[in-house]
């Protein structure tokens, strides 16, 4: 048994070595991850908002709606995509445009549709730049390089096949009509100082 100066470790009765193979992880041990993109106002580009864990795409959309369009969060539209289906480029830095690292030329094949997201500043979120056609995700990146001129360097590119994205429908716009913030939960909403002052003036 492993001996330690920490009694909590000794209580675990750990073996001296861990040469034995680890037990295989059960399938579906946890939900898969999905990336969420939000459009805060009509006409603005979609922007990456965060991750949700869900058993499938439809549930990921519901979880994303609850997580990223609650009270006080401005949301005009929302879409989700499974993380493993998002193809990414390498990251660059020091004002190096990631497109300059791409090798090869666009094939001209327009068999599949892809959505392109750019990271324009390290530490920020990816923003939607537009659509590109290609035979695969790598080809779509090369197409985007030709399609979208850049005044600033792009540090990373995400490519998602259009059919792999679940997006909110215009007919469902009423789902964004959420309740207002519950200001009564905040102490400041009670204006206690004003009430105390009024009480003192009345009882002078």
Residue 183 has a pLDDT of 64
Domains and CATH numbers, the chain: 31-85 (3.10.20.520), 89-165 (3.10.20.520)
Helices (H), 44-175: 57-68, 137-147
Residue 20 has a pLDDT of 65
- What is the spatial distance between Cα 158 and Cα 150, in angstroms, rounded to a whole number? 16
Beta-carbon contacts of 146 under 8 Å, excluding residues fewer than 6 positions away, are: 106
- What is the spatial distance between Cα 127 and Cα 65, in angstroms, rounded to a whole number? 19
Q: Could you list the pLDDT tens digit for every one of the 204 residues in the chain?
A: 778 888 888 888 887 776 767 677 677 678 999 999 999 988 999 999 999 999 999 999 999 998 998 766 778 899 999 999 999 999 999 999 999 999 999 999 999 999 999 999 999 999 999 999 999 999 999 999 999 999 999 999 999 999 999 999 887 777 777 656 666 666 666 677 788 888 888 888
Structure tokens at 14: 């750990």
- What is the spatial distance between Cα 43 and Cα 150, in angstroms, rounded to a whole number? 20
Helices (H), 85-154: 137-147
Q: Are 60 and 166 in contact (CB under 8 A)?
A: yes
Residue 28 has a pLDDT of 62
Structure tokens at 192: 């206690």
130 forms beta bridges with 116
pLDDT single digits (tens) 42-69: 899 999 999 999 999 999 999 999 899 8
């Amino acid at each position: 048994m492993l001996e330690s100066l920490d009694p909590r470790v000794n209580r675990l009765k750990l073996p001296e070595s861990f040469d034995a193979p680890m037990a295989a992880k059960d399938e579906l041990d946890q939900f898969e991850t999905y990336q969420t993109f939000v459009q805060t106002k009509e006409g603005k580009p979609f922007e990456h908002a965060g991750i949700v864990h869900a058993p499938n795409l439809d549930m990921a959309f519901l979880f994303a709606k609850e997580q990223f369009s609650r009270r006080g969060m401005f949301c005009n539209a929302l879409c989700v995509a499974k993380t493993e289906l998002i193809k990414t480029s390498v990251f660059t830095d020091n004002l190096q445009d990631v497109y300059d690292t791409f090798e090869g030329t666009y094939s001209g094949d327009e068999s599949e549709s892809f959505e392109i997201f750019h990271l324009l500043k390290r530490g920020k979120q990816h923003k939607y730049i537009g659509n590109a056609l290609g035979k695969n995700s790598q080809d779509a990146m090369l197409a985007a390089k030709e399609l979208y001129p850049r005044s600033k360097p792009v540090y990373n590119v995400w490519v998602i096949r259009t059919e792999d994205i679940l997006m909110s429908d215009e007919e469902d716009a009423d789902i964004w009509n959420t309740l207002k913030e519950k200001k009564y939960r905040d102490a400041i909403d009670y204006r206690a100082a004003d009430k105390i002052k009024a009480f003192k003036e009345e009882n002078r």
